[in-house]
Structure 1
């Protein structure tokens, strides 16, 4: 039951240039979203985590390939090479192109710049030699230029692009690439201009390499760099403005070439480039709107809200929020009221004043919004932007203000589900923070801990779109439209550690998701949804024969914790694919298979929160008792599953359950027949989600 490969992982560890990582992330999100989740990955994750099973593309960006060698030589490169040979895809950009070749030769004879040596990946079996063009300086734009690439149209299907301009700064050329055709190498583009080095007849700038069941594309230049993201006033290069203008004027050809390379690798590209989303307002509401004013007052008294230049601000450790109170009569309503009672001459004067105020308001808003002064489609530093937090102290947000989330429907359903749960307070979801486009519901809370400490228990942040969804390890959340993404704040007392260990909260969250789906309405209990230990949600793939029991991931759980004053503060983050068929499957597809109406995000969120609060309340009283244990095992995928214990010499073991003290996985060793227990048991702990059950393999923490 293999996972579908949905992650595009961009290496961001030692050796990688921050600028190159940002450009690669921006371009790939535009070209591959929403089909894939584009995220960064560290060297530690490459070395230790089970990323290959869900990775559609591994990207080694620009930087310095010696840093890659130091971190990944040996075990890391063996994992990468095996991943590609088994059907994976590799994109090496500039330094990543050097690194993916059989040998790197850089500035030979020019100490101290010289780098020369064999490389372990060797997707391109020959030499990548640089500099293709002179002038490169580390950590500088002094040698940057726009180079002309001649596209080899015969290597692509249906492309009309013959030339494209690409950013270049320090890359190499693939020497005698034409001589390796019999070994699966194709030239995708050549340098048009004369080079500073001998690269052979073809002057190959970009190559495609067939590697076992997989493939790699290696580049010398940087086709992922868009001119719109470059600063034309770069002081280190007097011709930089011309470079930027050239790239902007030829951006369509560059984009088409990048698309062609990704399609060549077997990836699904977006028909239209996905625009970089702008952050929207955050709307804060409560079950009883008057509680918003009480919360605002408490924040002001605690110094969470401060005044600066006439504006109310919440200055968090990572984010700054401009606090706006929407409890006033709108200008349109005021104009309507005035028109009802005033004579015509006065109406005209009032309208002029109102229009002037409106114009001034718009102008003021634009001038102070850092996003408004920049292109709507370029790299944005979301953390540096001031977010707008709108408080709703007298009424819930109206659908016209939040067209993708109906607050009235959410609170109505929350009240309905809570009425079925005797004994709960109704805290979860009582305070709701919603944004149409946010960085990450998890990060907004987790990265601003001072504000977090003053949020009520059960405060929930949710969003329609996340631009940097967080998951556990490299198993990141995909955040396309139709996903339910939310994070809920809990407080768990240290005094409960013996009877109700905090580790079980993630298991309760998983149970709440399954129960929330199956108690959504009548007949939804038939939806084939299961949990994967410790923190993922899976569904039976509706496109496969049910007899195959082919499950795919539709959701994940992330719990962040901090400790203060005798309490753990927990942020339980959940991502769940409700209505989008990409990249795996959705709950709506499962419902359609059973001829059930599609699930709505508002109602499902209310159902899950109500279940979660009830499960947690019971857990605090009884611990993870037999009732919860029975419910958990009824919902998980692993009963009596046989796996391989990699750290125990490949021993076979059968999964028997989890311990009720620390939630560790219980596995009993089997004899060589794979059936008979030896009597030996292990208690296994998750290591950053490195349990790869669906491939029958368990790794123990070393």
Structure 2
């Protein structure tokens, strides 16, 4: 995903940080993720590769950004990145500063021209500034003009020789003043948005607030960001369907029996969620999470699930499992919880421990949704789920970790052995390999386009272009493990998000045929280079590939050696220099 990072260092005004995160999320999700980033990450982590824009919010009174961050942020901008300073004007600073003479003042410096610009942040006000001013867009065919409230720092950019443009002006009694400004530094840009955002009452209907939002959306568009068009998308969970492959209708009944659903409707309370199970014929009430049981091989019509054709899915799954030579046992993807909208497919399985513990021990469960409203990524990261993103989580229950596990000698083809806990780390690598291999098949991209899909260690899916250094994330994998008492077995939940049909500016599988990944092609004129690509076929190809690999992985006791050569062929890091930081001094 493309990240908008918001600086959250100690000098940032807390209310400004909160407002900025909320406001940018409101204007940019689902096209971009919006996340805070601290000093430690900026100084020590490889954050620049996935960052589209770094945002600097308003600072505390009397504080400035540490000059120690200057070389880092300048390197990001000169390399082609963008920085947006909110509630800030700019002033020209003499002297090279960061790259020449020592300076305690933070600034952006162009080494080629010697130009230096320092942000001038609006000072924190003790009382709400009710000054009104008219802000008008500049330099574009579209004219946006709104009246806003609040203070605004003044620009002092006389003598700047770098390519620059005024994005907006403030129309006041004494004339026109710069309100927004962008300047090129090296190969990148620094932009300054001066109108005060601190007066915004997010979520209110105040006209001044709406004007601020309209203008800031315009500013974001002018610096190259693509703001999503409001679509009326549902922001709360919708009912889920519990169903299985029609030729294995007994799997749903096994889940029903295992959960103790003696009569329907049935309320099942758990730690994270409360579920109400219904029969397929019943009407579900909208106040809690509902699960509609489809017994006897019943599959909802495409009209009930317009974003995912379940009948087509099961047909593709049967064919894919046959191609891969999967055994006739309850397979990956044959028992499904599907919903148009959920909070998180991962949370539903790994945070509801009662549900997890009472599901059948030999039946894998797939949690699948067309949209997530609270998707999860690795660590504290979130995973947004725009339209066209394939999001699912696969539960592999009761994986034996010891020969003494009651499931170590299970008759299930998917649990043919046991694996030591130390081998569990390889599961994320194995699933990433399954995704990469699936993309190379003719059912998704084919071998030529599919070769651009690579694995970024440890759990990301990237695409790259032949002869280009351009690398973009299109997917991610999250593995959670719930150990049973005694540690002899574990429930494994593998979550995956993969951009399949996402629109620009996101990169997705359907957009890989274009000359460059960053080209802002209109989706309406996309040539049909992948006429057979579908969500259903993509998912079933991945699941069947992984099931075959998993069977071999468990049969070998968790040995990753048989997959290592193929994994190295598919990963992103071949021939890259590595810096070892665990030795002193660090070595390349």
- Per the normalisation by structure 2, the TM-score is 0.75
User: Which SS does the other structure have where 1:79 is aligned?
Assistant: helix
Structure 2: distance between partners of 1:221 and 1:522: 47
Structure 1: distance between partners of 2:290 and 2:420: 42
User: Which SS does the other structure have where 1:510 is aligned?
Assistant: helix
Gaps of 5+ in 2: 94-102, 109-115, 403-417, 514-525
Structure-2 change in CA distance of 1:20 and 1:409 (3 Å): farther
Structure-2 residue corresponding to 1:631: 566
> 1:515 aligned to 430, 437, 441, which one?
437
User: Which SS does the other structure have where 2:217 is aligned?
Assistant: helix
Structure-1 residue corresponding to 2:207: 246
* 1:451 CA drift (Å): 3.6
Structure 2: distance between partners of 1:225 and 1:614: 57
CA offsets 1:95-132 (integer angstroms, 9 cap, x no match):
xx49x9899xxxxxxxxxxxxx975356852644535x
**Paired residues for 1:439-478 under 5 Å:** 439-456=343-360, 458-472=364-378, 477=383
CA offsets 1:589-632 (integer angstroms, 9 cap, x no match):
45899965332111221221122122122112213354322332
* 1:502 CA drift (Å): 0.8
- 1:162 maps to 2:145: yes
**Paired residues for 1:408-447 under 5 Å:** 408-419=311-322, 420-423=324-327, 425-447=329-351
> 1:120 aligned to 101, 106, 111, which one?
106
Does the 8 Å contact 2:85/2:119 carry over to 1? Answer: no
Gaps of 5+ in 1: 104-116, 137-142, 195-199, 231-243, 331-360, 370-385, 653-702
* 1:57 CA drift (Å): 1.0
Structure-2 residue corresponding to 1:399: 302
> 2:86 aligned to 86, 93, 96, which one?
93
* 1:574 CA drift (Å): 1.5
Structure 2: distance between partners of 1:391 and 1:17: 50
- 1:580 maps to 2:580: no
Structure 1: distance between partners of 2:389 and 2:92: 42
Does the 8 Å contact 1:178/1:186 carry over to 2? Answer: no
Q: Which moved more, 1:589-598 or 1:78-87?
A: 589-598
> 1:261 aligned to 201, 219, 222, which one?
219
Structure 1: distance between partners of 2:253 and 2:69: 54
Q: Which moved more, 1:174-183 or 1:404-413?
A: 174-183
Structure 1: distance between partners of 2:220 and 2:562: 50
Structure-1 residue corresponding to 2:427: 505
Structure-1 residue corresponding to 2:460: 536
Structure-1 residue corresponding to 2:72: 79
> 1:57 aligned to 53, 58, 61, which one?
53
Does the 8 Å contact 2:5/2:37 carry over to 1? Answer: yes
User: Which SS does the other structure have where 1:488 is aligned?
Assistant: strand
Structure 2: distance between partners of 1:17 and 1:31: 21
Structure-2 change in CA distance of 1:322 and 1:285 (3 Å): closer
> 2:24 aligned to 2, 21, 28, which one?
28
Structure-2 change in CA distance of 1:75 and 1:412 (3 Å): farther
* 1:8 CA drift (Å): 1.4
Structure 2: distance between partners of 1:46 and 1:560: 28
Structure 1: distance between partners of 2:135 and 2:117: 19
Structure-2 change in CA distance of 1:216 and 1:445 (3 Å): farther
Structure-1 residue corresponding to 2:267: 312
**Paired residues for 1:207-356 under 5 Å:** 207-219=181-193, 221-223=195-197, 229-230=203-204, 244-247=205-208, 251=210, 253-270=211-228, 272-273=229-230, 277-287=234-244, 288=248, 291-292=251-252, 294-300=254-260, 312=267, 314-317=269-272, 320-328=273-281
> 1:8 aligned to 4, 15, 22, which one?
4
* 1:56 CA drift (Å): 0.7
Structure-2 residue corresponding to 1:46: 42
Bigger Cα Rg: 1
CA offsets 1:315-365 (integer angstroms, 9 cap, x no match):
433xx34414143367xxxxxxxxxxxxxxxxxxxxxxxxxxxxxx9xxx6
Does the 8 Å contact 1:177/1:187 carry over to 2? Answer: no
Structure-2 residue corresponding to 1:570: 492
Does the 8 Å contact 2:136/2:143 carry over to 1? Answer: no
Does the 8 Å contact 2:444/2:537 carry over to 1? Answer: no
Structure 2: distance between partners of 1:268 and 1:608: 30
Structure 2: distance between partners of 1:561 and 1:14: 35
Structure-1 residue corresponding to 2:518: none
Structure 2: distance between partners of 1:36 and 1:630: 34
User: Which SS does the other structure have where 1:130 is aligned?
Assistant: coil
CA offsets 1:208-255 (integer angstroms, 9 cap, x no match):
45444333334454449866603xxxxxxxxxxxxx53336xx2x434
Does the 8 Å contact 1:188/1:206 carry over to 2? Answer: yes
Structure 1: distance between partners of 2:421 and 2:145: 69
CA offsets 1:44-89 (integer angstroms, 9 cap, x no match):
43343211112111223457478996xxx46555433432333222
* 1:533 CA drift (Å): 2.9
* 1:299 CA drift (Å): 3.4
* 1:312 CA drift (Å): 2.5
Structure 2: distance between partners of 1:300 and 1:63: 56
Structure 2: distance between partners of 1:425 and 1:74: 62
**Paired residues for 1:359-374 under 5 Å:** 369=287
Does the 8 Å contact 1:484/1:575 carry over to 2? Answer: yes
Does the 8 Å contact 1:102/1:119 carry over to 2? Answer: no
- 1:601 maps to 2:556: no
Does the 8 Å contact 2:55/2:84 carry over to 1? Answer: yes
Structure 2: distance between partners of 1:486 and 1:278: 18
CA offsets 1:363-402 (integer angstroms, 9 cap, x no match):
xx6xx75xxxxxxxxxxxxxxxx54443334522221121
Structure 2: distance between partners of 1:504 and 1:284: 31
Structure-2 residue corresponding to 1:238: none
Structure-2 residue corresponding to 1:560: 480
Structure-1 residue corresponding to 2:392: 486
Structure 1: distance between partners of 2:294 and 2:130: 51
* 1:273 CA drift (Å): 4.3
